[in-house]
């Protein structure tokens, strides 16, 4: 447990699926020299679907805000901001349900929270020291998503493309893209945009001093 007078900074990173949020988060973490950095991924806070049959789980719209367990997420972020450790759920994307195991997260100086709907909830936005939206071309995001889901989540190319057409793109346009207006900084991201990343890192360093 941290000292109650110890200031903890919450950095929120939103953006479309496979937009590069994790890469930006890692760059920010590298800049937080001498600070304890805690990573919280919104993907671990999908609602527990273990009570449903596997085929029924697959029919869930995982790209809608209602797919997430906001009460647990907000509670855990609040506890970390207070300097308390939490039990973070672990989501298993191969079976579309939570693992029976949890991850113990100790409090830190900086909390980096990223997810497609990281800026969607006002309670989370109100707690953020800085709010970032990673803006990446849809074609690039689709290619990255295919690579990620096929290689690490046991998906087929056909299933990834069907999901993208049916829910990912429509939900992005309806729910993710509009949250851009809540961002303090919008990062037009690709791996060569070092200037934008450097400007962001400089701001973060000032923030956490």
d(CA 124, CA 70): 10
pLDDT number for residue 9:
92
pLDDT number for residue 188:
84
pLDDT digits (tens, 9 = 90+) for 115-132: 999 999 999 999 999 999
pLDDT digits (tens, 9 = 90+) for 45-85: 999 988 888 888 888 899 999 999 999 999 999 999 999 99
pLDDT number for residue 203:
82
Global confidence as pTM: 0.88
CA 153 to chain centre: 17
The answer for residues whose C-beta is within 8 angstroms of residue 166's C-beta and 6 or more apart is none
- Packed helices 194-208 and 21-31: angle between N→C axes, nearest 10 degrees: 50
pLDDT number for residue 3:
56
pLDDT above 70: residue 6: no
pLDDT number for residue 5:
58
Q: In the predicted model, what is the mean pLDDT of residues 9-14?
A: 95
Torsion, Cα of 60, 86, 119, 153 (10° steps): -40
Domain spans of the chain, in order of start = 9-208
pLDDT digits (tens, 9 = 90+) for 146-170: 998 898 888 899 999 998 999 999 9
Query: What CATH code is assigned to 9-208?
Result: 3.40.50.300
d(CA 143, CA 164): 11
The answer for residues whose C-beta is within 8 angstroms of residue 186's C-beta and 6 or more apart is 132, 133, 135, 180
Q: Which residue has the tokens 């690709």?
A: 190
Say how many CA atoms lie within 13 Å of 5 toward its Cβ.
Answer: 0
Would you say 142 and 95 are in contact if contact means Cβ atoms under 8 Å apart? no
């Amino acid at each position: 447990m941290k000292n109650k007078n110890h200031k903890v900074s919450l950095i929120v990173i939103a953006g479309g699926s496979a937009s590069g949020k994790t890469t930006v988060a890692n760059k920010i973490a590298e800049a937080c020299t001498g600070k304890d950095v805690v990573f919280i991924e919104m993907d671990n806070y999908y609602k527990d679907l273990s009570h449903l049959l596997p085929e029924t789980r697959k029919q869930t719209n995982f790209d809608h805000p209602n797919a997430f367990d906001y009460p647990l997420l907000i509670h855990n972020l609040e506890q970390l901001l207070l300097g308390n450790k939490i039990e973070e759920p672990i989501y298993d994307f191969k079976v579309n349900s939570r693992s029976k195991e949890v991850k113990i997260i100790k409090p830190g100086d900086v909390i980096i929270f990223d997810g497609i709907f990281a800026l969607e909830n006002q309670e989370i936005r109100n707690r953020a020291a800085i709010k970032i939206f990673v803006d990446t071309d849809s074609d690039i995001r689709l290619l990255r998503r295919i690579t990620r889901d096929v290689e690490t989540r046991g998906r087929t190319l056909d299933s990834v493309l069907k999901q993208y057409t049916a829910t990912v793109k429509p939900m992005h346009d309806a729910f993710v893209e509009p949250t851009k207006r809540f961002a303090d900084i919008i990062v037009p991201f690709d791996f060569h945009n070092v200037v934008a990343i450097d400007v962001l890192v400089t701001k973060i360093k000032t923030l956490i001093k």
